[in-house]
Structure 1
Amino acid sequence: MGEEYRAKVFKSGNSLALRLPKALGLEEGAEMVVREEHGKFTFEPVDAPPRLIDLTGIAGSMPWLKPRTREEREFEERELDWEGKLLRGD
């Protein structure tokens, strides 16, 4: 079992608020999901959106990777056979 903390409920406007100890490591403005089951409350952070990976720091470390020219990025139009159906990219 983890640490145990005491927290105090207080009135904030027309709502009640729960003051949580700084030792929990929560950041101001963090969104939480609160659940109540049989008179017991649990809370956990809302799932964060996926983070973007910044590759700018490693771009120069791979000299064999070079940016494609516009001509290299253009492809000839061709017919594709997906699931036995001939498709045209019109």
Structure 2
Amino acid sequence: MGKEYRAKVFKSGNSVALRLPKELGLKDGDVMVLREEQGHFAFEPAPAKPARIDVSGFWGKAPWLKPLRPEDREFEERELDWDGKLLKRDD
């Protein structure tokens, strides 16, 4: 079993808060997950959000690809058969 700490509950606005000792190594703004199980409470750091993909390094990796011209972005209207019902774009 790990170390035991005492923490104080206090009123904060319309809620109650739990002041945790700095020895736990938590920083201001850390997000925690709190669970209540059979009258006992457990908390742990929330899973980190996945990092955003940095696409800045992709520039120039495929020099054979060229931007589409506006006239290449046009498409021909066609009928679509979904479940036996022909649909046009205006339907």
After superposition, the CA RMSD in angstroms is 2.9
CA distance in 2, matches of 1:73, 1:81: 23
Q: Looking at CA atoms only, which structure, 1 or 2, has the larger radius of gyration?
A: 2
Give ranges in structure 1 of 5+ residues lacking alignment.
Answer: none
Matched ranges for 1:1-90 at <5 A:
4-14=2-12, 15-19=16-20, 21-22=24-25, 27-44=27-44, 45=46, 48=49, 52-90=52-90
The offset of 1:51, in angstroms, is 5.3
What number of residue pairs does the alignment pair up? 84
Deviations 1:21-59 (A, max 9, x none): 11xxx55323333111123322341674x6543322112
For residue 7 of structure 2, give the secondary structure of its aligned residue in structure 1.
strand
Contact 1:7 1:18 (C-alpha < 8 Å) held by counterparts: no
Identity %: 44
Q: What TM-score do you get using the length of structure 1 for normalisation?
A: 0.63
Moved more, 6-15 or 65-74: 6-15
| Cα distance, 1:62–1:86 mapped onto 2, change above 3 Å | same
The offset of 1:88, in angstroms, is 0.8
The one-letter code matched in structure 2 to 1:13 is K
For residue 8 of structure 1, give the secondary structure of its aligned residue in structure 2.
coil
Q: What TM-score do you get using the length of structure 2 for normalisation?
A: 0.63
